Amino acid sequence: MSAPPTCPTPPAAVAFSGVSMAFAALGRVFLCLDEDFRILHSSELLDRLVAPGAADSLAGELVENVLGAELFGAGGALRATLLAGERREGWRATLRVEHGRPRLVSVTAAPFPRDPSGICDPRVHYIVVLRPAEEEGTDAAVTLFDGLVARSESMLRLFRLVQTLEQSEVTVLVTGESGTGKERLAQALHNHSPRHAGPFVAVNCGALPGDLLESELFGHVRGAFTGAVRDRVGRFELAAGGTLFLDEVGDLPLPLQVKLLRVLQERRFERVGESVSRAADARVIAATNLDLARAVREGRFREDLFYRLRVVPIHVAPLRERREDIEPLASHLLARVAARRGRALRLSPDALRCMIDAPWRGNVRELENALEYAVAVCRGQTILPEDLPAEICAGAVEAHWRPHVVNDSEPAARPLPAADGAAAAELRAILEAHRWHREEAAREMGISRSTLWRRMREAGLIH
C-alpha cells in the first residue's frame, strides 16, 4: 500500500527550518525580515525562550514592535545600518512578545544577500540573530536604556542604579561636564520612578537673575512686584506629582539656596508676595557641571543644601574616559541625524578612528554636533575623516601623531609609493620648517588642517 500523497514542503521552508535548527542548537534565535522590516519567519526556539506559540505569533509583525523602535523604528540605529548595507553585532534590546515576559537579548543584524540558488525565500532582506543576554558573560554589548546608549561599565553601572532607584523618590544630584547627558539621565530617573506618569519640569537656574528665578520656581501673586499683572504658578507647582529638574543648580544665588533648602526640608513653599504656605509635591533632581564641594569650600554654595541635594550623588563621566561608548553613540546618533534628513549614511573606519581618538571636550553634545556637520557636508554615502569638523581630526592626530623616526627598529607604517615620494618629501620639509606645527604648515600650504592630515596619512607620515 502506498503512502498517502503529502503536500511537498517548499524549499524555502526547508531551508529556514534547517538554519533555524542549527541556530537553536547554538542557543540562538533566528529571524528573517522583509524589506519593510516585518518578520517573515522566526525560529521555534522563541517558544522555549519566551512563551509557547511566540514564534508563530510574530509572523507579519514589524520588528520594531518586538525589539523596540529605538533600534528598528524610522531613524533607529540598526535599521539605518541595515539600510546602508552593513552588519552590526552585540547591540542589546528587550524582546517583547505578547504573553511572554520581556527578555534582554543581544542582537546581531545583517542584510541578507540575494540567493542565486532560489532555495531561500526571496522576500528575505535582512536577518537578525538573538542571544539571551544572560549568556553573555562579560563581553561588552551595547545597551540602550531609555534612549541612552552605552557600552562602558561606568555608564552601565548608572543604568543599573537608575533601575535600583525605581521605587524611590530620593533627591538626586547629577554631576558631570557639559554635554555628558546629565539631563537625559535625570529624565531616565523620572521615567523609572513612581512619578513617571507625572510631569518632568526643568528649570535652568543659571538662565535667570535671582528675583525672576524666584518667581519662576515658586510663582507669584498679582502685584507682588512691578510687572506682576496676574497670579503666576511656579515650576514647583507645575511639577506636582512629578519631578522638578533643577539644572545648573550651582548657579543658584545664595538667598534662593536658603529658600530651596526650606522647601526640601519642610516640603512647603510660598508664592512670591503671598503668605499662604503651599505643599510642595515635586521630587527634586538637580544637576551641575560645577565642582559643588569646592563652591561650598569657597562659600558660594551652602553646605546644608549641598548635602540635602546629594542624598544620592550620580557622576556622569566625560566621554574621553569612556571611549568604548563612542562607536555605539556615533552609530546611534548618526542614524538619528541622518534620518532627519532622509539619508542613510555610514562612517568610514578612518572617520570612526578619528572620532574614537578625539578629545570631545564638549562630550556627547559635541559628538552629536560633529555628526550634524558631517551629514551636512558629506556628499556620498560614507562619512570620511575630512567630512568631520577640523578640530575632531586634529585632536585625533594629536593623540596618534608620530613623525617617522628613521631608525631600524621602527619601520615605516606604510611604505610610500615611489611616485608620491617627491610630494611626501616636500610635505615633510614644510612640516619640519614649522616644527611639525600642523596649523602653521596648513596655513603656508593654503589647505585646511583636515586636508593636511589626510595628506600626511597618504604620505605615511602618521599612522
Q: Which residues bind ligand ATP (CB under 6 A)?
A: 148-150, 176, 178-184, 289, 329, 364-365, 368
Contact partner, 179, from Mg ion, ligand ATP, none, Cβ < 5-8 Å per class: ligand ATP
CB of 393 to ligand ATP, least distance (A): 21
Contact partner, 365, from ligand ATP, Mg ion, none, Cβ < 5-8 Å per class: ligand ATP
CB of 248 to Mg ion, least distance (A): 7
For ligand ATP, the closer CB: 57 or 289:
289
Alpha-carbon span 176 to 247, nearest angstrom: 12
CB of 152 to Mg ion, least distance (A): 20
Contact partner, 149, from Mg ion, ligand ATP, none, Cβ < 5-8 Å per class: ligand ATP
Contact partner, 372, from Mg ion, ligand ATP, none, Cβ < 5-8 Å per class: none
Alpha-carbon span 97 to 29, nearest angstrom: 13
- CA 182-167-143 angle, 5° bins: 50
CB of 288 to Mg ion, least distance (A): 9
For Mg ion, the closer CB: 190 or 457:
190
State which residue has the least CB distance to ligand ATP: 181
Contact partner, 28, from ligand ATP, Mg ion, none, Cβ < 5-8 Å per class: none
CB of 319 to Mg ion, least distance (A): 15
- Whose cell is 559643588? That residue is 292
For ligand ATP, the closer CB: 216 or 247:
247
For ligand ATP, the closer CB: 171 or 369:
369
For ligand ATP, the closer CB: 154 or 178:
178
- Whose cell is 531609555? That residue is 146
- Per CB under 5 A, contacts with Mg ion among 175-194 are 183
Q: Nearest-CA neighbor of 56 among 94, 19, 113, 97?
A: 97
Helix axes 390-400, 438-445, angle to 10 degrees: 130
For ligand ATP, the closer CB: 162 or 427:
162
DSSP 387: G
Alpha-carbon span 70 to 125, nearest angstrom: 20
Q: Measuring CA to CA, how many Å separate 131 from each of 28, 58, 106, 134, 413?
A: 5, 17, 5, 9, 39
CB of 396 to ligand ATP, least distance (A): 20
CB of 221 to ligand ATP, least distance (A): 32
For ligand ATP, the closer CB: 99 or 340:
340
CA atoms within 13 A on the CB side of 190: 26
Contact partner, 180, from ligand ATP, Mg ion, none, Cβ < 5-8 Å per class: ligand ATP
Report the amino acid identity of residue 413. Answer: A
CB of 298 to ligand ATP, least distance (A): 21
Q: What is the DSSP string of 114-171?
A: --TTS-S-TT--EEEEEEEGGG-TT---BEEETTEEE-SHHHHHHHHHHHHGGG----
Q: What is the DSSP string of 201-244?
A: EEEETTSS-HHHHHHHHHEE-TTSSTT--S-EE-HHHHTTTSEE
Helix ranges restricted to H, 386-448? 390-400, 421-433, 438-445
Exposed e or buried b for every residue in 419-450, given b needs 16+ CB within 10 A? eeeeebeebbebbeebeeebeebbeebeeebb
Contact partner, 289, from Mg ion, ligand ATP, none, Cβ < 5-8 Å per class: ligand ATP
Total binding residues toward Mg ion, as defined by CB under 5 A: 1
- Per CB under 5 A, contacts with Mg ion among 78-137 are none
For Mg ion, the closer CB: 224 or 249:
249
- CA 320-383-90 angle, 5° bins: 60
- Whose cell is 530651596? That residue is 260
CB of 294 to Mg ion, least distance (A): 20
For ligand ATP, the closer CB: 260 or 329:
329
Contact partner, 357, from ligand ATP, Mg ion, none, Cβ < 5-8 Å per class: none
Contact partner, 219, from Mg ion, ligand ATP, none, Cβ < 5-8 Å per class: none
For ligand ATP, the closer CB: 82 or 335:
335
Q: Nearest-CA neighbor of 195 among 284, 264, 267, 268?
A: 284
For ligand ATP, the closer CB: 293 or 413:
293
Q: Is beta strand 268-269 parallel, antiparallel or unpaired with respect to 278-279?
A: antiparallel
CB of 288 to ligand ATP, least distance (A): 8
CB of 243 to Mg ion, least distance (A): 15
Contact set with Mg ion (CB under 5 A): 183
